[in-house]
Amino acid sequence: MKIRVGQGYDVHRWVEGRPCILGGVEIPSEKGPLGHSDADVVCHVLCDALLGAANMRNIGYHFSDKDPMWKGVASTLLLKKVMEMIREAGWELANADVTVILDQPKLNPIIPAIKDNLALVMGVEVDQISVKATTSEGLGFVGRAEGISAMAVALIQKE
């Protein structure tokens, strides 16, 4: 059996009046992340972690922010396409671990819904996806409520 690990990291600026979508779930918030797509950092880091593990470059290579086709797209669609790509190459997800870094809004009550949605989109079991949130303790761009960041690792395997 072959196994590979990949990592993903993403940052988006907060803006007023934009929805906050994380893992395909809309989170109640006065601000949302700015981006070419829906700026879902959870889906973006998972895409990059999976693509990196499969040695398939990154999300920007496959879904360029210069391409109007991807303008405003739901990042769950990108994640679904990435899962199709790695499966076509013979890989399956063993597990993924996501950390979202933000001071507000608080995510703990919503994490089960995010995990359920990610498992559905990715075609995996809920226990293969870990999602957690942490704060920046008021430091940096996250602490100043200027943006949100996330990171992920994904372990993929093939026979």
pLDDT tens, residue by residue, 23-35? 999 999 999 999 9
pLDDT average, residue stretch 85-113: 96
Whether 88 has a binding-site annotation, put simply, is no
- How buried is residue 83: exposed, middle or buried, by Cβ count under 10 Å (0-12/13-18/19+)? buried
Cβ 32 vs Cβ 19: under 8 Å: yes
Model pLDDT, residue 110: 96
Whether 144 has a binding-site annotation, put simply, is yes
Whether 62 has a binding-site annotation, put simply, is no
Whether 141 has a binding-site annotation, put simply, is yes
Q: Taking all residues of the chain, what is their mean pLDDT, rounded to a whole number?
A: 97
Whether 10 has a binding-site annotation, put simply, is yes
Whether 18 has a binding-site annotation, put simply, is no
Whether 159 has a binding-site annotation, put simply, is no
Q: Where are the domains of the chain?
A: 2-158
Cα–Cα distance between 103 and 28 in angstroms, integer? 14
Confidence at 117, pLDDT banded by 50, 70, 90: very high
Confidence at 102, pLDDT banded by 50, 70, 90: very high
- 9 three-class SS: strand
Whether 63 has a binding-site annotation, put simply, is yes
Architecture field, domain 2-158: 2-Layer Sandwich (3.30)
Whether 115 has a binding-site annotation, put simply, is no
Q: CA gyration radius for the chain?
A: 15
Cβ 45 vs Cβ 148: under 8 Å: no
Model pLDDT, residue 131: 98
Whether 29 has a binding-site annotation, put simply, is no
Whether 156 has a binding-site annotation, put simply, is no
Whether 92 has a binding-site annotation, put simply, is no
% of the chain at pLDDT higher than 70:
100
Contacts of 75 (CB under 8 A, 6+ apart): 21, 24, 37, 38, 39, 40, 42, 43, 44, 47
